[in-house]
A and B are shown apart, each in its own frame.
Chain A
Amino acid sequence: MDVRRFPVPHIAHLARLDLSEEEIQRFEKQFASILSAFSALRELDLTGVEPLWTPVPHTLRLAKDQPDRPYDRNQMLEDAPDVFQFYLRLPSPLRSVRKKQ
């Protein structure tokens, strides 16, 4: 990837972030600097080095198939922005995309 041209508006749109022109320019500069730091790694000779999948030494722990008691509904809905008949109510995601454009 050309680090000088990190697609900030595209990524911002995917994350539904509304960035001003000024913010886009600022992030483009920051991303370029972050990514150029990584490009230093490309210069290393990695022949024969196994890929590192995780820096954590432990392996994945699996849970036994034993259900727990679910949480109380009212407690779980407490933080929801809007609730209608015990459903979470949200604006249509399609509508919010259209509004942006």
Chain B
Amino acid sequence: MTAEFEPVIGLEIHVELATRRKMFCGCPNTYGKEPNTVVCPVCMGHPGTLPVPNEEAVARAVQLGLALGAEIHPFSLFFRKNYFYPDLPKGYQITQYSASILTGGSLQGVRIERANLEEETAKSYHTETGDVLLDYNRAGIPLLEIVTHPDIRSPEQARAFLEELRLLLIYLGISECDMEKGQLRVDANISVRPVGSGSFGTKVEIKNLNSFRSVEHALRYEWERQAALISSGGTVEQETRLWDEFQKETRPMRSKEEAEDYRYFMEPDLPPLQLSRTWLEEQRAHLPELPEQRRKRYREVYHLSDKVLEALIADPAYGRYFEQLAEGLSRPELAGNWVAVHVLRVLKAEHLSMEDFPLSPDQLRPLLRMIEEERISHSAAQEVFEEMLRTGRDAASIVEERGLEQVSSDASLLPVVRAVLDAHPEIVEKYRRGKTGVLGVLIGAVMKETRGRANPQKVRELLMRELETS
């Protein structure tokens, strides 16, 4: 069914900005504090209070705009979006409505329609008796609403876009984007149309998407539902549906008892937001290296494989660690592999962030240098690595204590190689008759004799040389 219909998808993303204070008052921007301990008369909507916008929140929005190639409007406005709900203590939300700070720009080919600065609502909990309990700690945290054009054509593309946007926001330091803490939230619009058609179908909005995976699943479900509906002669209704994570389906939200009517008007307490050219240039100067720039640099400078590259890009801290580790190594790709494979395995297993990883790049580097110099084998290196993590001791002393140093010198290996050849005349005979595959047996014998410490590459060379010459 879905083969005949293509989905047309647009996303609306809300991001909490990681500022130190709230959007319009001096309360700290926090998470997880005791209820109603981070509040003041402004964010609780007391009469007579006045909002003062946070410069840093404006700066973050502008930085995102620069990263997306958006048009940054040096003149934008704040509006009141009025609705009656207790999580809005003032009875309205301050937002930018039709005079956004950012318009245009794109990411992964998906065009951005606009981004608006606004404020978070309070957190509400519904009790069994039908009451609402309110915690205003969250009310007034700066929020950026990012809206895309309906340019996305598959659930996978939607997910990939969101992952790249999240990465960008993290690299910019705009938000920590922890979805479990609600710092990044996504609503999706989807309609379907016959493949090749230029027109748009009726769109459905999906809410309650708690992870990028649920975005992908919900969009797939909705694509199939709408395609089946149209194929069987039905019509799609314009509505808002909720994603049910357990049943893996979307369900119509109880229809609104009235059409949305927010009676927007200009916020009389806030004159227009005007940004000077100098200030905007300062924001440009603060831009860090962005994920796509880092990918390009890592490819060019370090020649990393795509898989290793993506693992290192996933968190700016991984890249910082990798770059420090790679410094002074003649094979930086070795550092890439070690961070991507071994270090990240430990971080994931122990639920650690890079900052909490017990070994500094300076501690780990000598181990990699020993691999580079072929003084230890890869398997021995892993053993040393585990021991370093356990004890914090340095690589060299572990290698020495355990006798893990790889034997590579002719002087040490040649007597063993000759002894093995003497001990296995029948295998030597087979080899000479052309069954070169038996070389592996001989290598294994040498490795066994040296208790795994011989450099296998060197052993192979020596064996072949002896077999050719003797």
Report A's interface with B, CB cutoff 8 A: 10-11, 13-16, 53-54, 56, 58-68, 70-71, 73, 76-77, 84-93, 95, 97-98, 101
Contacts and interface: CB of A to CB of B under 8 A. Distances in A.
Contacts of B452: none
A73 B44 CA distance: 12
Interface of B: 19-21, 26-29, 34-41, 44, 52-58, 77, 82-86, 125-126, 130-136, 257-258, 261, 263, 266, 270-274
Given A60-B274, A76-B44, A93-B84, A88 B26 contact: no
A28 to B, nearest CB: 17
Q: What are the 4 closest A-B residue pairs judged by CB atoms, nearest first?
A: A68-B26, A65-B56, A87-B133, A62-B55
Given A64-B56, A67-B29, A70-B37, 20 more contacts: A14-B258, A14-B263, A59-B272, A60-B270, A64-B55, A67-B27, A68-B27, A68-B40, A73-B37, A86-B34, A86-B35, A87-B125, A87-B134, A88-B134, A90-B86, A90-B132, A91-B131, A92-B131, A93-B85, A97-B257
B271 A65 contact: no
27 contacts: A10-B261, A14-B82, A14-B84, A14-B258, A15-B84, A54-B272, A59-B271, A60-B270, A64-B55, A65-B55, A67-B21, A67-B26, A70-B27, A73-B36, A73-B37, A76-B40, A87-B125, A87-B133, A87-B135, A88-B134, A89-B132, A90-B86, A91-B131, A91-B132, A92-B126, A93-B86, A97-B257
A65 B20 contact: yes
Contacts, number: 123
Contacts of B133: 84-85, 87-89
Given A13-B258, A68-B21, A91 B271 contact: no
B388 to A, nearest CB: 40
Nearest to A96: B84
B266 to A, nearest CB: 7
Q: Is the interface of B mostly helix, strand, loop or mixed?
A: loop
Nearest to A87: B133
B258 A89 contact: no
Nearest to B43: A70
Nearest to B53: A62
B28 A53 contact: no
Contact of B130 (A10, A54, A67, A91): A91
A63 B52 contact: yes
B118 to A, nearest CB: 15
Given A84-B133, A89-B131, A76 B39 contact: yes
B153 to A, nearest CB: 37
Contacts of A59: 271-272, 274
A60 to B, nearest CB: 5
Contacts of A68: 21, 26-27, 40
Given A67-B20, A67-B28, A97-B257, A61 B52 contact: yes
A17 B450 CA distance: 90
Contacts of A91: 130-132
Contact of A90 (B19, B131, B263, B274): B131
B35 A53 contact: no
Nearest to A88: B134
Nearest to B126: A92
A76 to B, nearest CB: 5
A60 B53 contact: yes
A61 B21 CA distance: 16
B261 A14 contact: yes
Contacts of B271: 53-54, 56, 58-60
Given A71-B41, A87-B133, A92-B130, A76 B272 contact: no
B55 A87 contact: no
B84 A88 contact: no
Contact of A53 (B20, B27, B85, B266): B266
B355 to A, nearest CB: 23
Contacts of B136: 88
A87 B35 CA distance: 6
A71 B40 contact: yes
B134 A90 contact: yes
Contact of B39 (A54, A58, A71): A71
